[in-house]
Structure formats: structure tokens, C-alpha cells
Amino acid sequence: MLNKTLYLNEEVFLQDRELKSGRDGFGEAILKLGEEHDDIVVLTADLEESLRLTPFKKKFPNRFIETGIAEQNMAGIGAGIALSGLVPFLTSHAVFSPYRNWDQIRLSICFSNANVKIVGSHAGFSNGPDGGAAESLEDIALTRVLPNLTVINPIDYRQTKRAVEEMYKMRGPVYLRICKEPTPQITTEKTPFEIGKAYTLVEGTDLTIFTTGTIAYEALEAAKILKAAHKINIEVVAVPTIKPLDKENVIGSAKKTGRCVSLEEHQINGGFGSAISEILAEEFPVRNLRIGVNDTFGESGSYKELKDKYGISSHHVVEAILNMLKEK
């Protein structure tokens, strides 16, 4: 079922599969980068342990800045550090950065095209127990509208590590959206990753699911169910880079299957599904059913409970696709 050319994890559907979080991947990757490059500076807004930064702080205390709960100041400081020739990584929960400091990100970072890397952790429902106020369900919309800003939403722990490495290499501002909750590992050490590229995880002919972030596992699970129970061949395309979007692969898959669904752990308005729909409307008009959070805030609950309640778990995706295919 899985695309063998991508060297994906064949054990991803097992009950005892490996679960690891994006924030752990970030912590490990930034420590390794810090060891290899002395121009990296890490800033955080009172979230050192939450972003897995303690090892970096201990090893490189002179390249670690604790700003306190001051996300706006952190963005301004980061812009100044970048303009002096260093590479700052601004770290916080996604619901704080880019929310509270959006104006500073826009003017101090994006307007000047400063080489600042913004890391928003605990994205989507992955901070569920803290309630709706702590759930970032609008950050893709907030960031993809900003000129010069690249937006990345990795599908698992290993891809997060690759994304951190690649975003360091590129010049210009980047927003990295990562998950707190441990999730199934879809990729392996051999799986390719390039900023700006989409990847076909499963090849199909009847319908395409475009997905981004760790919710990609639910898309894979839905594709597996639809094939086994209904003989429907679903193509699953993971889009870890939301901006710039890989138009060629998106349009190519839409032309191949003729029907599209987008799945995201975010508001459907202005988010990933909107980005997919915009490209399809302009380049290859075809229906795209957007599955995500529909104009409402979240609430307190476990990650599994919230995905289920808000209609983005695999069985909801299966139901939505079956209903879509019944339509003429």
C-alpha cells in the first residue's frame, strides 16, 4: 500500500508501532545543529523544557536567550540577531507565537526578510488538556498570508528533524508548526524531504486526500479502510510545505483522480484546505472537500477525543469520502 520509493515505515499500522512527538524531534535536531554550527542562537518565551531545549541550554549557554513571557520582544530581538548575521530560532507554543507577536513577525521579520526561524509547538489539538484557549487552530492562516515567510508542517518526528536541518540551510524567515503529542512514525531515516515538495504516500486512482502535519496518519488509516472495505483506491499526498505549495504535484494528483479531499488539524477557513482549493480553482477546477475544524474553537480533552469530536479522525474521513462519492 505505501509508496516504496519513499522508504516509508512499513510498521506504521501495527498496534505496537513507535510513537514520538515533533517537539522531541525539534529538541534533538536543534542540539545537533548547535554542535555543527556556531551561528545558531535559540530564544524561548519561558518554555525551555516544553520545547525540549534544556540540553541545548546546558551545552551552549551563551547561545540561549530566555526572554520570559514576552513573545513580541522575542520577535524583535530575533530580527536584530538575524540582521547581525546569526541564525535565531524563536521557540514557543504556536498559540503564543505567531499569535501574540504577529505584528512583530510581519514588520520586524517578514518585511525585512530577516533570516529568523519561528517554531510553534503544541499545534492543533495536541495541547488538548489545556483547553480551547491553548489550541492553535488558526496559525496556518496567520502565517501563510505573510510575504517572504515559508510555512512547514511536518507529518512526524523524523520529518520534523529533517525540516529543522533544511530550514537552517535556507535564507529567509520560516515558520515550523510542530506537534506535542507522540504520533505514529510514517517516515524513516531514508525518506526524502525537501522544502517545497509534496510526497505521494499512497498511490491511487479514485480520489486524492491532500494532508499536512501529523494528521496525515488519519489519512493513511482512512485510505487503508476504504481499500479493504469498499475497494476504493485512495491517493494520499502529504504536503509538509504549505507555503510555497508544490503546485505541480497537487495539480498532477488532481488530474489523475478527478476528486479531492483536504484534511487538516486547523480551521478549514484560510488554512491548508483553502490553499489547496485556491490552486485547484485557478489551475484545474475540480471539487475539493475540506475536512478540518469548521469555524469553531476547541475545548479540553485528550488528543484522540478531540480529533474524533471535531471530525478529523479516520472514520470521519471515510464517512465523508463515501458520501462524496455518492454524489453525482
pLDDT per residue over 261-307, tens digit each? 999 999 999 999 999 999 999 999 999 999 999 999 999 999 999 99
Check pLDDT > 70 for residue 172. Answer: yes
Q: Where are the domains of the chain?
A: 19-184, 196-326
| 285 vs 255: CA distance, rounded Å | 10
What is the number of residues in the chain? 328
Residue 294 per-residue DSSP state = -
Residue whose entry in the numeric block shows the C-alpha cell 469555524: 295
pLDDT given at position 327: 86
CATH class of this structure's domain 196-326: alpha beta
Secondary structure in 3-state letters for 154-166: CCCHHHHHHHHHH
Give catalytic status of residue 283 as yes or no: no
The whole-angstrom separation of Cα 155 and Cα 216 is: 6
- The mean predicted confidence, pLDDT, of the chain is 97
Q: pLDDT digit string (tens) for 312-326?
A: 999 999 999 999 999
The helix/strand/coil state of 12 is: coil
d(CA 87, CA 80): 10
Backbone φ and ψ of 224, nearest 5°: -65, -45
Tell me which of 3.30.565.10, 1.10.3720.10, 3.40.50.970, 3.90.280.10 is the CATH number of domain 19-184.
3.40.50.970
Rounded average pLDDT over 58-82: 98
Assign 328 a pLDDT band (cuts: 50, 70, 90).
low
Catalytic, out of 71, 138, 181, 221? 71
Count of beta carbons in the 10 Å neighbourhood of residue 59: 12
Q: Do domains 19-184 and 196-326 have the same CATH topology?
A: yes
The answer to whether residue 236 scores a pLDDT higher than 70 is yes
Q: State the Cα–Cα distance between residues 116 and 175, nearest whole angstrom.
A: 9
For 116-145, the pLDDT digits (tens) are 999 999 999 999 999 999 999 999 999 999
Q: pLDDT band at 88, cuts 50/70/90? A: very high
User: What average pLDDT does the segment 11-21 reach?
Assistant: 95
In angstroms, what is the C-alpha Rg of the chain?
Answer: 19
Q: Is pLDDT above 70 for 42?
A: yes
pLDDT at 199 over 90: yes
**H-helix or E-strand spanning residue 243:** strand 241-243
Question: What is this structure's pTM?
Answer: 0.97
